[in-house]
Structure 1
Amino acid sequence: MEHTLQALTPGTSHAWYRALYTEHRGAFVQWAARQYGVREEEARDAFQEAVIVLYRKAQGDDLASLNCSLRTYLFAVGRNQLLSRMRVLRKQEDLHEEFHGIPDEALATNGMERQEKEATAELVRQRLAELKPDDRRVLELYYLEGKDMDAVAEALGLKNRNVAKKKKHFALQRLIALVRSAKMLLL
């Protein structure tokens, strides 16, 4: 099975995508751990999202102008997924500190930056409260309580870690959308 851009069409089989995922996942996980210091699970999640993005773009025939290798494309999309998650994690860590009443003044280099961080943390906290209870709980368990996906699945009574991971992903996407829309309203 050839994994090239030319082999990719809207009708490409799921088996092709699974093989592509398996072929490049290990290299991406190692690269992500080295570059960004992320856990293996986080890197796998980001790479899985990259393959999903590739699949969706192929279904819409949005890849005609792509002039790089599939591996390069997957690594770039995976990197963007990681960076996006890292930004959210930083915001969640700020939120976590607020929940525990431990301000970290060393993070803010000046008053303006501190105010911006406080405003963002407040916005995330407000939008987190707007989520459905299940969405809010999955994010709290994973980001604030530091539970792994198996523990999250067990706490929420879900079938397995993959179901919990998917639930976390969609909850996080909803939170990000709420925060972005609120920021747009503030501008």
Structure 2
Amino acid sequence: MFSYHEINLHLDEIALPKPLSEITGKLDDFKGYELNFLIKAEKYLFDHLEYESYKSKVIHCIGTCRFNLTQVGLYLLMEDEIIFVHTSALKLDEDNQQWSLNVYPFKEIVSFEFNDGCYSSDDYNSGVLFIRLKNKTGTVRSKTIRNINPNHFGCMRDFHEKMQENRYI
């Protein structure tokens, strides 16, 4: 079984902010589903992201999340965007599982809200992030990201405040 808690505990130990190139490949503490998930997520991320242009970008927080009942993923909050790489939670052990990559620059984000009122730092499976995005045609769509690490709400709040400040300058 996939454990958000185990992965988030390990990811919380990484001293951030750091450039992407300095946090990759540190998977020695994992076994089974968690190791398989992280190896495949990292590979897909680097195969489908312009790694050379991202390797020096600073990561402010990184953790696991769920997109719906069947999609599990990893999020990376950077200076000016949030990146999600995700796949089916039902097919984590399959070699041919399909992955997706979503990159949301802050200029596309209309609102960024989360439920941060009643969680302790030990509750790694509880946070919910609500993102409203404006696409190229101007249509606003909503994304709900579940199981966000509540320890990252402060980091996300800072990201949101910076996003709003830059929007109004």
Hey, which of these two has a bigger chunk of helix by percent? Answer: 1
TM-score of the pair, normalised by structure 1? 0.27
Q: Which has the higher contact order (CA 8 A, sep 6+)?
A: 2
